[in-house]
Amino acid sequence: MPAARPAPRSASWGWREAPIALDVAAVERLVAATGFFRPSEVAIARELVEDHLARGREASGYWFLFAEDRDGLAGYVCWGPVAGTEASFDLYWIVVRPDLQRHGLGRALLLAAEERIAKAGGRRVYVETSTTERYAPTRAFYAACGYRLEATLADFYAPGDGKAFFVKVLEPR
């Protein structure tokens, strides 16, 4: 039987949409702390925050929601409209601090992003993730949140590491 996870230190999070300069390093630390992502992926997460700060939400295409607690950045989600479409959005990142995983913050971030996407006229949300066994909990999370596996591409990220595409159709607002 797996060991019980400790209760979260904070059951309530503060929410913030606009990135600030401190988020560049905070996002980099958070993404690295999960142990899931390669250094190149950690750098990409950082670059999206930098791009938003430099060019703004509309020009960069990267929209954010940050969850904070007394210990700092608890988690965040990043999404944006798919260029050339009328109502499709990509979910680029959803990351939760390791000590808060499996306590509802990821689902809360995802639902909050979906609400903002729907309010902006979005009808479909696309998510991409790895097909490796390590990412089985991630794929199960998306399925439990109403996402449907739409397609897979073998060996996309690396040999033996394919890409899984999920989609969720949102109700119009």
- Whichever domain contains 26, its CATH number is 3.40.630.30
Q: What was the pLDDT predicted at 12? A: 78
Structure tokens at 27: 């996002």
Structure tokens at 136: 């089985």
Q: What was the pLDDT predicted at 9? A: 44
Encode pLDDT of 16-38 as tens digits.
Answer: 999 999 999 999 999 999 998 99
Given a cut of 50, the residues of the chain with pLDDT beneath it are: 1-10
Q: What was the pLDDT predicted at 173? A: 65
Domain assignment present for 96: yes
Residues in the chain: 173
| pTM of the predicted protein model | 0.90
Q: Which residues span the domain enclosing 147?
A: 14-169
Domain assignment present for 3: no
Q: What percent of the chain has pLDDT over 90?
A: 88
Domain assignment present for 163: yes
Domain assignment present for 106: yes
Domain assignment present for 8: no
Cβ 159 vs Cβ 120: under 8 Å:
no
Question: 36: helix, coil or strand?
Answer: coil
Structural domain total, the chain: 1
Count of C-beta atoms within a 10 Å radius of residue 38: 10
Among residues 137, 140, 113, the alpha carbon closest in space to that of 126 is found at 113
Domain assignment present for 34: yes
Q: What was the pLDDT predicted at 11? A: 58
| Alpha-carbon 10 to chain mean position | 20
Q: What was the pLDDT predicted at 171? A: 85
Instruction: Please list, residue by residue across 62-93, b when 16 or more beta carbons sit within 10 angstroms of its beta carbon and e when fewer do.
Output: bbbbbbbbeeebbbbbbbbbeeeeebbbbbbb
Q: What was the pLDDT predicted at 2? A: 38
Domain assignment present for 9: no
Domain assignment present for 2: no
